[in-house]
Chain A
Amino acid sequence: MTIEILFPEHANLFGDMSNMRYLQACLPDAEFVRTPLTDTPYFVNHDVDLLYMGPMTERIQQQVILALMPFADRLRELIDGGTPMLFTGNAMEVLGNTITLEGGNTIHGLGILPLNAKQDLFHRFNSLILGRFAPVQADIVGFKSQFTSATGDNADCAFLKTERGIGLNRQTHYEGFFKGNMIATYLIGPILVLNPALTRWLLDTMGATDAPLAFEDAVNDAYARRLAEFCDPQVDVEY
C-alpha cells in the first residue's frame, strides 16, 4: 500500500498532517512517499493507493500550481480511474480553474475542478461544518478557517451537503468536491481523526478493508460528543 503526500514541507498547515499520522496508525505497514516541492511527484510514474495534499500559504500555493501544471492530465487520469485522493483546505483550490488574489490579479489553477476562488486577506472565515457524505450516509464534522470563498458547479459532485455551516460560499450548502474517489474540501484539520465513518470508507476504498481504525473507541467517543455539540442550536457555527 503506497500513500503519497505531496509537498509535506509546505502543505502542512492547520494540523492537517495529523490525517497522515492517523492513517499511519491504522496502516502501520503502508509506505508513505513524501515528495518535496523540488521533486517530480511519485504519482507521475507510479500508481498510488492514496494521494494527499494539505493546506499551504498563499505564496506556496502559486508555486505548487506551477509544479503540478505539467502533470494535470495525469492527475485527471488518476481521478477518472478511481484513485483515492484527499485535498484539504486551500489545496482544493490548486485543482480549480482560477484564484483571484488580494489586489485583483487572477491566477490559473490546474483546471481539474470547476472552481473559482477569491482571496480576502482582511477577513478570515472561521466556522464549524456539519454535513452529509453520501457514500456512507454519515454526518461529517469539521472546521473551516480560510481567507477565500469560492464559486463552483458542485451540486451533483459535492463532498458534503451541509446541515450547519456554509458550502463553497454563503449561497450554497454544497461543500467541496467528490469525484471518482477524490475528495477535495475546504475543511481543515484532523478530518480523518474526527470522522471514523469517513476514515472507514477511505480505508475500504483503498482496499484496506481488514485494517481496524486506530483507537476506535476513543475516536468514536470524541466523534459522538462533537456531533452532539454540532447539532445543538445553542452552539455558534461561525466564530
Chain B
Amino acid sequence: MKRSWRFFPALWTAKLTTAVLRLFHRNATHLPGLVALKLCPTFLGDIGKPKTIIAVTGTNGKTTVCNLLDDILPDCGVQPLNNRTGSNVNGGILTTFLNAATLTGRVKEEMAVIEVDERSALFVFKYMQPDYLIVTNLFRDSFKRNAHSEFISDILNQAIPKKTKLIVNADDLIGSRLAPNNDRITFGIAHREGDWEVRQNIVCDMVACPYCNTVLEYDFVRYNHIGRAHCPKCDFASPSVHYEIIAVDEEAAKLTVRTPRGEEQYRMIGDNITDWYNTLAAVTMLRVLGFDEQTIEQSLQKQQIVKSRFERIDIGDKAITMLLAKGQNPIACSRAFDYIRRTEGKKAVILLIEDYYDAKHTSENVAWLYDADFEFLNDPSVEQIVIAGVRAADFRVRLLLAGVDDSRIVCMREEVATADAVDFERVDNAFVLFDVYTTMFADATRERLENRLNGQNEEVSQ
C-alpha cells in the first residue's frame, strides 16, 4: 500500500494527542482524529483497515442496528472494530481507526461496524469504502443540518462506492432506491393488521412517482412513507423483499422471517415496529455475512434495547416510561407519540424535547413541530401533556392546533418541576420524552417521579 509520507508523523502525533488528553481526563473520542486529518488529509485512506467493513447510516435506528451487530458478532466469533463510544462524523470515525491502529498503522480486527452520519458519507466513503452499507431509512431530519431527504439521498448517491453492497429497507421507497446500480439485499415487514390504507402522518416524502410524477397508490402505509406503493400509470413499485417478517407472535416474542433459505424465527426485541425493523436489518446483515440462524438467535436472546433509549419502570400499579424522541427530528417524535397513544392506560406525557443548545444561544426554529404528529397526542387516553422550557408556549400552540384541549396542557419553565405536575390520580403511566442532549433533565424528572410514586406506596402501606 502506498501511503502519504505524512501518514506516520500524523499517526504518532495523533496517538500522542490521545495519550495527553487521557492523562488530563479529557474526552479523546474526536479531537485526535481531527489532528491526524489536519496533518495528513488522506489519513483515513492510509490507515490499515479490517478485511470487511460494514457501514450503517440512515435517519433513524442506525445506532441501534450498530449496537445489535456489535453485540451479536462476538457470539459469532468476530470482535468488530466499532465507533460505539465515539461520534459518527469525520472526527469520531478517524479516531476509531486511529485508536485501533498499532504504531505501524495496522489494525488487528477482521471486521468493522461503523455508524456514519449521512452527511459525513462524502468524506468517509472516499477513504473507507464499505463492503456493505446498511441504510435503515431516510426521512426528513433537522432542517438546519439536513434540509430535506432528497438532499441527503443526493449526498449518499455521490458518496456510495460502486463496489458497496447495500442492505436496504424495502418498505422505504427513498432509502431503497439509493445507488440504483449497486447490488442490494432488501428487508421488510409484510402487511400487518393495523397498517393504514391511507397515511395518517403529516409528512410523506414519497408521494409521487419518481418517473412520471403521478401520485402513488399505497398498498399500505405503516408510518410516513414507510409502506408499499406502486404507480398507477407506470411500472414503478416497491422492490421485492429478500428478508421479510411475515408473522409476529407478540405473546411469544417471536418474529418469523422469510429468507432466501426458508423461514426462520428470531426473538422480537421491543414492542415497537421500529425495533423490529432494526432487528431485521441486523439479522439480514448477519445472514448475508453467512452466520447461522441458531447462533444469531441465541445471541438475540441476550439482547435488549439500551436503557438510555427506552425504559419502563413499574411502581405499584403505576408506571414511568422513558422514551428517547430526538428533538428537531419530526419522524422520531411522531413514532414516540404514536407509541404513546397505542399504549394501554391513561397517560401523562412530559415533553423535554426542545433544543438544549438553541435554548442557550439562540431561539429555536420551531418549524419542525409542525411536521411532527402532535395530533397523535390528541387522544382520549392522554390526560395530561406537561411541557417545560423556553419553548413551552410554542408547544402549547402546536398542541392546540392538533386539537388538544387547553385544559390538558400544562406549561412550565423548569424542566424537573414537570414531575410534580403529573396527576397520578388520573394517569397510570407517565411518559418522559427527551432528547439526547436533555438526558440530565430526563434523569432528574424520572427520579422525582419515582420518589413521588414510592412515597405514595409507602403512604398506602402505612
Residues of chain A having any CB pair with chain B under 8 Å: 9-10, 12-18, 21-22, 25, 36-38, 57-59, 63, 121, 124, 126, 128, 143, 145, 147, 188-190, 193-194, 214-215, 218-219, 221-222, 225-226, 229-230, 235-237, 239
Inter-subunit contact B145/A124 (CB<8 Å)? yes
Partner of A218, one of B207, B368, B369, B406: B406
Docked Cα-Cα span, A13 to B202, in Å, equals: 11
Docked Cα-Cα span, A188 to B369, in Å, equals: 13
Inter-subunit contact A215/B363 (CB<8 Å)? no
Docked Cα-Cα span, A178 to B299, in Å, equals: 63
Name the residue in A13, A17, A59 with the highest tally of chain B Cβ atoms < 10 Å from its Cβ.
Answer: A13
User: A38-B215, A193-B397, A218-B397 given as contacts; is B363 within 8 A of A14 (CB)?
Assistant: no
Closest residue of B by beta carbon distance from A25? B401
Docked Cα-Cα span, A40 to B363, in Å, equals: 40
Partner of B397, one of A10, A58, A63, A215: A215
Which residues does chain B contribute within 8 Å of A226, judged by CB atoms? Answer: 363, 394
Which residues does chain B contribute within 8 Å of A237, judged by CB atoms? Answer: 362
Docked Cα-Cα span, A58 to B149, in Å, equals: 11
User: A9-B207, A10-B208 given as contacts; is B362 within 8 A of A128 (CB)?
Assistant: yes
> Least Cβ distance of B204 to chain A in Å?
8
Closest residue of B by beta carbon distance from A190? B370
Residues of chain B having any CB pair with chain A under 8 Å: 140, 143-145, 147-148, 150-151, 202-203, 207-208, 213-215, 330, 358, 361-363, 365-371, 390, 393-394, 396-397, 400-401, 406
Inter-subunit contact B208/A145 (CB<8 Å)? no
Partner of A147, one of B147, B362, B370: B147
Inter-subunit contact B358/A239 (CB<8 Å)? yes
Docked Cα-Cα span, A194 to B140, in Å, equals: 22
Inter-subunit contact A63/B213 (CB<8 Å)? yes
Interface of B, secondary structure class, is: helix
Docked Cα-Cα span, A193 to B393, in Å, equals: 12
Inter-subunit contact A229/B401 (CB<8 Å)? no
Which residues does chain A contribute within 8 Å of B151, judged by CB atoms? Answer: 57-58, 121
Inter-subunit contact B397/A222 (CB<8 Å)? yes
Known: A10-B208, A57-B148, A222-B393. 16 other contacts (CB 8 A): A12-B203, A13-B140, A13-B148, A25-B401, A57-B151, A124-B145, A128-B365, A145-B365, A145-B367, A188-B367, A218-B397, A225-B390, A229-B390, A236-B361, A239-B144, A239-B362
Inter-subunit contact A22/B148 (CB<8 Å)? no
Which residues does chain A contribute within 8 Å of B208, judged by CB atoms? Answer: 9-10, 36-38
> Least Cβ distance of A224 to chain B in Å?
9
Docked Cα-Cα span, A143 to B401, in Å, equals: 20
Docked Cα-Cα span, A14 to B367, in Å, equals: 6
Inter-subunit contact A15/B368 (CB<8 Å)? yes
Partner of A37, one of B145, B213, B406: B213
User: A10-B207, A13-B148, A189-B370 given as contacts; is B400 within 8 A of A218 (CB)?
Assistant: yes
Q: List 14 A-B contacts (CB under 8 A).
A: A9-B207, A10-B207, A10-B208, A15-B370, A16-B367, A38-B214, A143-B365, A143-B367, A145-B365, A194-B366, A218-B406, A222-B394, A222-B397, A239-B358
Inter-subunit contact A190/B366 (CB<8 Å)? yes
> Least Cβ distance of B118 to chain A in Å?
14
Closest residue of B by beta carbon distance from A67? B213
Which residues does chain A contribute within 8 Å of B365, judged by CB atoms? Answer: 126, 128, 143, 145, 189
Inter-subunit contact A36/B215 (CB<8 Å)? yes
Inter-subunit contact B147/A235 (CB<8 Å)? no
Which residues does chain B contribute within 8 Å of A57, judged by CB atoms? Answer: 148, 150-151
Docked Cα-Cα span, A17 to B373, in Å, equals: 13
> Least Cβ distance of B248 to chain A in Å?
32
Which residues does chain B contribute within 8 Å of A215, judged by CB atoms? Answer: 397, 400-401
User: A14-B143, A17-B202, A239-B144 given as contacts; is B213 within 8 A of A38 (CB)?
Assistant: yes
Docked Cα-Cα span, A236 to B362, in Å, equals: 5
Docked Cα-Cα span, A232 to B390, in Å, equals: 14
Closest residue of A by beta carbon distance from B122? A122
Name the residue in B140, B202, B390, B397 with the highest tally of chain A Cβ atoms < 10 Å from its Cβ.
Answer: B397
Partner of A9, one of B147, B215, B367: B215
Which residues does chain B contribute within 8 Å of A25, judged by CB atoms? Answer: 401
Partner of A21, one of B358, B363, B393, B401: B401
Inter-subunit contact B215/A128 (CB<8 Å)? no
Q: Which 6 A-B residue pairs are closest in the complex by CB-CB distance? A: A189-B367, A15-B370, A18-B370, A15-B367, A9-B207, A222-B393
> Least Cβ distance of B448 to chain A in Å?
26
Partner of A225, one of B148, B371, B393, B406: B393
Docked Cα-Cα span, A126 to B365, in Å, equals: 9
> Least Cβ distance of B148 to chain A in Å?
5
> Least Cβ distance of A32 to chain B in Å?
15
Inter-subunit contact A235/B393 (CB<8 Å)? no
Closest residue of B by beta carbon distance from A37? B213
Which residues does chain B contribute within 8 Å of A194, judged by CB atoms? Answer: 366
Closest residue of B by beta carbon distance from A19? B370
Which residues does chain B contribute within 8 Å of A188, judged by CB atoms? Answer: 143, 367
Inter-subunit contact B143/A145 (CB<8 Å)? yes
Which residues does chain B contribute within 8 Å of A230, judged by CB atoms? Answer: 363
> Least Cβ distance of A63 to chain B in Å?
7
Docked Cα-Cα span, A59 to B151, in Å, equals: 10
Inter-subunit contact A126/B144 (CB<8 Å)? yes
Name the residue in B368, B371, B406 with the highest tally of chain A Cβ atoms < 10 Å from its Cβ.
Answer: B371
Docked Cα-Cα span, A22 to B366, in Å, equals: 15
Docked Cα-Cα span, A36 to B330, in Å, equals: 24
Inter-subunit contact B367/A190 (CB<8 Å)? yes
> Least Cβ distance of B138 to chain A in Å?
13
Docked Cα-Cα span, A47 to B362, in Å, equals: 42
> Least Cβ distance of A88 to chain B in Å?
10
> Least Cβ distance of A220 to chain B in Å?
10
Which residues does chain B contribute within 8 Å of A214, judged by CB atoms? Answer: 400-401
Which residues does chain B contribute within 8 Å of A145, judged by CB atoms? Answer: 143-144, 147, 365, 367
Docked Cα-Cα span, A205 to B215, in Å, equals: 34
Closest residue of B by beta carbon distance from A234? B361
Which residues does chain B contribute within 8 Å of A124, judged by CB atoms? Answer: 144-145, 147
User: A193-B401, A218-B397, A225-B393 given as contacts; is B361 within 8 A of A15 (CB)?
Assistant: no
Docked Cα-Cα span, A219 to B215, in Å, equals: 35
Which residues does chain A contribute within 8 Å of B202, judged by CB atoms? Answer: 17
